[in-house]
A and B are shown apart, each in its own frame.
Chain A
């Protein structure tokens, strides 16, 4: 069974940092592009970052460029999002998603990040 389990969310002050993790199981993690997508409570979806299967191609939304860093460890079937210089507008549920474009697309249940003083 495919599973994506996010962790690392929580309450952080503006300007602070958090590192999100996504543990993958039930499939060959190293074969898939991975993504982070966030959703502000009660609002729509916003793409954050994508990383190709071997970390060759990495993309970021303009809203997080220079502050967030995506990485992966294929040996440990894990995806990460290092978030620095956090702002109130970064408050959202962060989803880890396998390949947004193919029928094998799959999303985790998300982890809540709250940026507040």
Chain B
């Protein structure tokens, strides 16, 4: 059972907009930054979004992040087949004094 809660799966067709949620608490998302990581099949995770809604260089602007209270969301617009991957949210937890990850969401492009 992960401290951050994500839906196990999401799907969409090419060109659609998909949103993945990440629910936490006041000790993690509510008081600390949230990052999103993308893990393509058979590869190591890669930073996708940092500090809620910032993109590292090279990440397309189709990817965006947001936060409201103790929840965060990742939105992918103009869905492409190469977006098929696992997506994880992460935050520092002040109560646990450590990093917490969501359980991951497997995105399928239909």
Contacts and interface: CB of A to CB of B under 8 A. Distances in A.
Contact of A100 (B56, B90, B97, B102): B90
Q: Range of interface residues on chain A?
A: 20 to 34
A107 B71 CA distance: 25
A47 B2 contact: no
A37 B35 CA distance: 15
Q: Which of B45, B92, B96 has the most CB of A within 10 A?
A: B45
Contact of B99 (A35, A102, A103, A108): A35
Contacts of B50: 101-103, 105
A100 B57 CA distance: 15
Interface of A: 35, 37, 44-47, 50, 59-62, 95, 97, 100-110
28 contacts: A35-B99, A37-B45, A37-B99, A44-B2, A44-B88, A44-B101, A45-B37, A45-B45, A45-B88, A46-B101, A47-B90, A47-B99, A50-B98, A50-B99, A59-B97, A95-B45, A100-B99, A101-B33, A101-B50, A101-B92, A102-B50, A103-B47, A103-B57, A104-B56, A105-B50, A107-B44, A107-B45, A109-B44
